[in-house]
Structure 1
Amino acid sequence: MPNVDDLILFADVVEQGSFSRVAEQRELTNSVVSKRVARLEQQLAVQLLYRTTRKLTLTEAGQALYSQAKHIALSAQEAFAEVGEYGESLSGKIRISVPTISGELLLAEALAAFSEQHPEISIEMSMDNRFVDLLEDGFDLVIRTGSLPDSSLIARHIIDSHWVVVASPAYLKKHGTPKAPDELKQHRCLSYSYQEGGAEDWLFKVKETTQAIRINSGFSTNNARALRKTALAGHGLIYVPRCLVYQDLAKQDLHEVLTGQAAKVLGIYAMYPFTRQQPKKIKLLIEHIRQHYLAISEYF
């Protein structure tokens, strides 16, 4: 029967991509790490890794084992972290990267409230829509919206963000209200150039399927707040997260069109590295953020 410690070490080697890096972190020699992985291969009677001077590559069997081994490693980390919480102080700095819309709408206030509740914790918030490299850029946590990259990050789903098509009453009075997605081709559409899948491909439910409708964009921007202002000024239709325009819709400064037909839904996630033991302060902060999102779930 393979040793569970060897399974966890194997997962660590895959994550780090190096025997020497794992050996250094665990205060072992390279040969000990290599021998333990070799022992695991011998016990399972399969090759798990292709070893070259430049890199390690998983075999098919190695990939199958790794998908299970990383869960075992994570469970062990969580168990140790839970016990460690009893003696862990809530102090230090947390660096967090958040998307611009959520940062302005919700997270700045939520993070300030968290640091007020825990005076020994300081929070540094960076607003950026790109998928930052947590380890390289020195972040402890990121909040991201969209499809997740295939990586070693652990992601906790917080809420789903639904998108809507909206325009000002003045625009709709002048140009009419589209009743079907195809009619958008006769309208002035303003595009959000950050959105996934192409700024000019708007997703809709058409006959029980999801279809991308190519719009003719006369203006695009990667700044959601600027795009909202163009719609409020009556310059055209925009396709954006509901949370961005929720209050405008409530005040009827903007009207939703093609209601129930927009198909774009993106998950909002809290993400942190798999290889880092999750401290109690990060765990508490994620739950704090999640509760703030849920408190205004109607926005999304």
Structure 2
Amino acid sequence: MNINDLELFILVAEQGSFAKAAESLNTRRALVSRRIAELEKQLGAPLFTRTTRAMSLTPSGELYLEQISPLLKQLKNAAMVFKNRYNEVQGSIRVGLLPFVDKILDHKIASFVHTYPQVKLDIEVVSGGYKDISRLELDLVIDINHIQDNQFVAKKLLSFERKIYASPGYLEKSSVIENLNDLQYQSLLGFRGTSGLVEEKWRFQQNTISANHKVVCSDYNSLYNLCLGGAGITLLPQVIAQEAVENNQLINVLPELSAGFTDLTLIYPVDHAFSSAAKVFVEHLTRQKS
């Protein structure tokens, strides 16, 4: 059985169409259809239900997709590890991370470390975001800023959602919170971005409130720890607060509200002479899915 045919089957299932799959591969629809038919013949079962209007997976096709998808992913990862170890990418990379970024990118960074064992990561915790690149002689920084500077390249890695959190201990002592306006009578913990600006207003889907902060912090780790200790209510990335919520250490206050999504961005100077190690680091982070 040809692994390329299995990859084609997954692509057709994702695209939901022979024509779309053929277009993405820059080939003919008839060729895609024939290869899938040959695969079905080898398996002895139809994978797709075909009509003049639509195409969908059969129960056998759904089961087959569920079985082979993780196997193909493992094969690809194994091939990548072997290839990279054979090529022996070496060197060191100086990376700047905001204090909370390790909690969001831990799996991606760990994956890079295992994939490129000859590369040394020198990680510096930064407070000034991408502005610290020159001062600290970094190769790149992972920031939350939307930069408007043609001297830098910015590549989006992922987005994280922010919601409202407080500790059970704080909520036991506070007045009842039934709606957004009730937050104005609470101890609010605010965030100061790397630009130096404090988030004076908390903006949600349909409403905005002016936040009279009792405490302001320049990193989400501090906000998380202060919130965990019962100092007040704050906006946190959901990915940071999730474990504490599951352990009943934090509560998502007014869970129907969202402060929206913020992009995590990889930033480096346009004219920076990247080493091979830095290049594969950028490729790895921008390629890997969360």
TM > 0.5: yes
Q: Distance in 2 between matches of 1:245 and 1:266?
A: 15
Shift of 1:112: 5.8
Q: Distance in 2 between matches of 1:195 and 1:121?
A: 29
**Residue 112 of structure 2: aligned partner:** 114
**Unmatched runs of 5 consecutive residues or more in structure 1:** 1-87, 295-300
1:145 aligned partner, one-letter code: I
Shift of 1:140: 1.5
Q: Distance in 2 between matches of 1:222 and 1:149?
A: 21
**Residue 255 of structure 1: aligned partner:** 251
CA contact (8 A) 2:98 2:219 kept: no
CA pair 108-168 structure 1, distance change in 2 beyond 3 A = closer
CA contact (8 A) 2:205 2:260 kept: no
Three-state SS of the structure 2 residue aligned to 1:205 is coil
**Residue 123 of structure 2: aligned partner:** 125
Aligned pairs for 1:227-246 within 5 A: 227-246=223-242
CA deviation profile, 1:160-180 (whole Å, cap 9, x unmatched): 121111011232233244333
Aligned pairs for 1:200-215 within 5 A: 200-206=200-206, 211=208, 213-215=209-211
- The total of aligned residue pairs comes to 203
**Residue 155 of structure 2: aligned partner:** 156
Q: Distance in 2 between matches of 1:156 and 1:179?
A: 39
Report the TM-score when normalising by structure 2: 0.60
**Residue 36 of structure 2: aligned partner:** none
Q: Aligned residues: percent identity?
A: 20
Q: Distance in 1 between matches of 2:127 and 2:280?
A: 23
Shift of 1:250: 1.6
Shift of 1:137: 3.7
2:141 aligned partner, one-letter code: V
Q: Distance in 2 between matches of 1:152 and 1:272?
A: 9
Shift of 1:187: 1.3
Three-state SS of the structure 2 residue aligned to 1:132 is helix
2:241 aligned partner, one-letter code: V
**Residue 199 of structure 1: aligned partner:** 199
**Residue 184 of structure 2: aligned partner:** 185
Shift of 1:150: 2.1
Whether 2:213 is the aligned partner of 1:217: answer yes
Shift of 1:93: 1.9
2:127 aligned partner, one-letter code: N
Shift of 1:240: 1.9
Q: Distance in 1 between matches of 2:202 and 2:267?
A: 27
**Residue 60 of structure 1: aligned partner:** none
Q: Distance in 2 between matches of 1:265 and 1:256?
A: 16
Q: Distance in 1 between matches of 2:286 and 2:178?
A: 36
1:234 aligned partner, one-letter code: G
Q: Distance in 1 between matches of 2:228 and 2:99?
A: 19
Aligned pairs for 1:164-179 within 5 A: 164-179=163-178
Whether 2:280 is the aligned partner of 1:284: answer yes
CA contact (8 A) 1:206 1:261 kept: no
Q: Distance in 2 between matches of 1:183 and 1:195?
A: 29
CA pair 166-174 structure 1, distance change in 2 beyond 3 A = same
CA pair 195-142 structure 1, distance change in 2 beyond 3 A = closer
1:129 aligned partner, one-letter code: S
Q: Distance in 2 between matches of 1:133 and 1:171?
A: 36
**Residue 22 of structure 2: aligned partner:** none
1:250 aligned partner, one-letter code: E
Three-state SS of the structure 1 residue aligned to 2:205 is strand
**Unmatched runs of 5 consecutive residues or more in structure 2:** 1-86
Q: CA RMSD in A?
A: 3.0
CA contact (8 A) 2:155 2:286 kept: no
CA deviation profile, 1:238-296 (whole Å, cap 9, x unmatched): 112222212111222111112232324211111222224655433321243346660xx
